[in-house]
Amino acid sequence: MTEETGEQLSGRINNGNLVGLNPARVMLHGPTKLLVDTYYWHSPNKGIVAGYAPTERDVEDHFGVFRGVDQIEAFALASIVSCGSFLECRKLKCLPDGLKEKFVPAFVSIGQVNFHYYLELGDRFISIANIKSYKWRQMVCDGRIYKAPKDLDLNAYFADFTEERLLNYDISKDFKLVAELFDITGRAILIELFKKNEE
Amino acid sequence: MERQEILDGLLEVLRTVRTIDPARLEGVTEETDFLTDLNTPSTELINIAAKVEHKFGIEFEDDDIDHMGSKVKDIIDLILAVEERGKNA
Residues A130-170: tens digit of each pLDDT: 999 999 999 999 999 999 999 999 999 999 999 999 999 99
Q: Fill in the amino acid letter for A59.
A: V
User: Rounded mean pLDDT of A101-121?
Assistant: 95
Q: Fill in the amino acid letter for A13.
A: I
| Statement: residue B29 has pLDDT above 70 | yes
What pLDDT was estimated at residue B87? Answer: 85
CA distances from residue B19 to A135, A143, B38 in whole angstroms, order as listed: 20, 25, 9
Task: Quickly count: other Cβ atoms within 10 Å of residue A146's Cβ.
Answer: 24
Q: What span, in angstroms and rounded, lies between the C-alpha atoms of A148 and A138?
A: 29
- Contact B50/A at CB under 8 A: yes
What pLDDT was estimated at residue A1? Answer: 65
More confident site: A195 or A124? A124
Helical residues (DSSP H) of B1-89, grouped into ranges: 3-14, 44-56, 62-66, 72-88
Q: Considering its fold, how many domains does chain B have in total?
A: 1
When scoring A91, A135, A189 by the number of chain B Cβ atoms within 10 A, the one with the most, hence best to mutate, is A135
Q: Confidence band (pLDDT; 50, 70, 90) for B69?
A: very high
Which residue from B minimizes the CA distance to A196?
Answer: B67
Q: Fill in the amino acid letter for B81.
A: A
Task: Give the pTM.
Answer: 0.91
What pLDDT was estimated at residue A2? Answer: 66
What pLDDT was estimated at residue A66? Answer: 98
| B43, B50, B66 member nearest A135 (Cβ) | B50
Residues of B in contact with A187 (CB under 8 A): 46
| % of chain A surpassing 70 pLDDT | 96
| Statement: residue A199 has pLDDT above 60 | no
CA distances from residue B11 to A175, B17, B23, B32 in whole angstroms, order as listed: 48, 10, 12, 12
User: Rounded mean pLDDT of A4-11?
Assistant: 93
| Statement: residue A59 has pLDDT above 90 | yes
In a domain, A1, yes or no: no
| Statement: residue A38 has pLDDT above 80 | yes
What pLDDT was estimated at residue B22? Answer: 92
User: Rounded mean pLDDT of A8-21?
Assistant: 96
What pLDDT was estimated at residue A3? Answer: 82
Residue numbers of the domain that contains B76: 3-88
CATH number for A31: 3.10.129.10
In a domain, A137, yes or no: yes
CATH number for B29: 1.10.1200.10
Q: B46–A138: do the CB atoms touch at under 8 Å? A: yes
In a domain, A74, yes or no: yes
Residues of A in contact with B58 (CB under 8 A): none
- Interface A-B, measured as beta-carbon pairs within 8 A, has a size of 16
| Statement: residue A16 has pLDDT above 60 | yes
Alpha-carbon gap: B6 to the closest alpha carbon of chain A (Å): 22
Per mean pLDDT, which range of A39-48, A180-189, B42-51 is the poorest? B42-51
- Contact A138/B at CB under 8 A: yes
Q: B46–A190: do the CB atoms touch at under 8 Å? A: no
C-beta of residue A142 within 8 angstroms of C-beta of residue A93: no
Q: What span, in angstroms and rounded, lies between the C-alpha atoms of A62 and A120?
A: 10
Residue numbers of the domain that contains A132: 6-198
What pLDDT was estimated at residue A27? Answer: 87
Q: Confidence band (pLDDT; 50, 70, 90) for A67?
A: very high
Q: Considering its fold, how many domains does chain A have in total?
A: 1
What pLDDT was estimated at residue B44? Answer: 87
β-bridge pairing A47-52 and A103-109 = unpaired
> Which contiguous run of DSSP H or E holds residue A157?
helix A154-157
| % of chain B surpassing 90 pLDDT | 83
